[in-house]
Amino acid sequence: MVGILTIGAYLYIYAPDVEVVHVDMICPTCDKNSPQPPDTVREANTGAMLRVILKNSGTMGTDLIHDNLTVFTPGRLLTNKDELREVANPLADIVVGLGAQSTAVLVRPIGDTLAYVMRHPELSNFRDDPIYLFGHYTYRIPFFFPKTRKFCFEYVPPAKGVPEAWAPCSF
């Protein structure tokens, strides 16, 4: 009996613990001071990415077995997390090994034009509309049981010298 409790305590203490440690947007075109307008619509809708960095802060490795990122602009501030509906990602079931104290990067492509408008809200009619990045990730804990964690972030555009940020949702 003591052995079982010892093993259980060991697995609880040293089990993998995967959490979101950073969220940002990468946009090579937008990062230029004066981006040139794209030549085609296809070029306008490629290149920018939303990036979520996960870290396994546990001392045991794990497998990231499912993930999903969804971008949502409801046109109003949300007050209830039940209003967030994920868009299915057919590539979300790729298993990725995640060692102890390692990171994994989840990306969601968005268009350069959308990213530029997000960074320059004065150019859009949607300047007061919040933009949410939300989703979930599933990883294995001891004995191969899956554990799913959900996350939600709201985009805070740059203003008066303060850089853009992604703040955790308030609900």
User: What pLDDT digit, counting tens, does each position of 12-40 carry?
Assistant: 678 899 999 999 998 876 666 555 666 66
pLDDT (average), residues 62-82: 83
The count of structural domains within the chain is: 1
pLDDT (average), residues 68-89: 80
- Tell whether 121 is covered by a domain: yes
- Tell whether 10 is covered by a domain: no
Q: What tens digit of pLDDT does each residue of 96-129 get?
A: 999 999 999 998 888 777 787 788 777 766 667 8
**Enclosing domain of residue 27:** 16-168
- Tell whether 52 is covered by a domain: yes
Question: Beta partners for 155?
Answer: 166
- Tell whether 35 is covered by a domain: yes
pLDDT at residue 154 in the model:
93
- Tell whether 4 is covered by a domain: no
CATH number, residue 97: 2.60.40
CA distance 142 to 146: 9
